[in-house]
Amino acid sequence: MALGALLMAATTLVYANSFSGLFEGDSGLLVAQDLRVRQASPENLALIFSQQYWYPNSDSGVYRPRFT
């Protein structure tokens, strides 16, 4: 029990500087600005399964509904 708590505390300490970080690279567009992932609704689910990965930012032709 104590070893698990120590491991959790050490892990938290190591990654503490990343908790307030911003999205890097393409994740800003894919996560922070994609309106489809903001609310679980039938309309958003339909967009996820019918539009490409970079929708509406770009038209790459990449289809990845599982990752969205």
In a domain, 37, yes or no: yes
Q: Is residue 32 situated within a structural domain?
A: yes
In a domain, 58, yes or no: yes
Average pLDDT of span 24-51: 83
Domain around 67: 25-68
Tell me what pLDDT residue 68 has: 66
Q: How far is CA 39 from the centre of its chain?
A: 13
In a domain, 15, yes or no: no
What's the total number of domains in the chain? 1
* Percentage of residues in the chain having pLDDT higher than 70: 97
Which of the two residues, 52 and 8, has the higher pLDDT score? 8
Can you tell me the distance from the alpha carbon of 38 to that of 35, in angstroms, rounded to the nearest whole number? 5
Q: What is the pLDDT of residues 18-33, one digit of tens each?
A: 877 777 777 777 777 7
Does residue 13 form part of some domain?
A: no
The verdict on residue 20 lying in a domain is: no
Query: Is the residue at 5 inside a domain?
Result: no
Q: What is the pLDDT of residues 7-17, one digit of tens each?
A: 999 999 999 88
In a domain, 59, yes or no: yes
